[in-house]
Structure 1
């Protein structure tokens, strides 16, 4: 019997394994890609790996359904961990409810706009006085309007978020 095993314990290519099993090289490559087979191996190693894989699938321990179930359990575990972390941060006071922060941000934005507008008007007045020139207030207001719009729209799409 050991002579027979020695005959199988030879390095073969994926194409050769495919010919032995009556499948294409692509089918073997797919099994390598799925992790069922090592990228290189002996005929004996590959046959054993395929046998273990098929046995596990037949016993319900492998295959796509098992992998899907494992991935679903993994996602559920990650979601539960994230939920627990969120609850922890809520309990220790690290989270601020949107209903509390939104009015503060709105009043800050109004104050920032007012202060910026006032500062620009003072700068324009100082330039006009110091250099005895006229600055086109319409052009200044247009540029400020573009800047305020860009700030209001940043980041894009935030208004659509629930």
Structure 2
């Protein structure tokens, strides 16, 4: 075995002749935040009820979960929260990307009030690249029981784009 020096794809792009421009969701993109304040209406929702939290812009948008945060009221015994997205059209027009209600986080305990940084579902660097023609709706889903009337979900989603 020997000591090696290797390049990431993004660094190699900067050394290529002619130089290859990295996409802004990978280098020099602008960090943005989408804030959400959700309150369940006057009636409780059954298990599996969806809360639409934010609409991410169209194009290539990379969500950065470790910089994102969600706070929630006490939802009741054994309740969990999933974080995911609704169906959306691919930015290249190739078709529709299916909804995934737990694609960003899955089964976060929410019996008592708390807050968390989403993660653990994606693995690796805990980012998710969305490539959409019309934008992507990020959703929360309450499972293992009803979402009580007046339940609150507040927070922000960090993402990069330009």
TM-score (normalizing by structure 1): 0.22
Which one has a larger percent helix, Structure 1 or Structure 2? 1
TM-score (normalizing by structure 2): 0.22
Higher RCO (CA < 8 A, seq sep 6+): 2
Structure showing greater radius of gyration is: 1
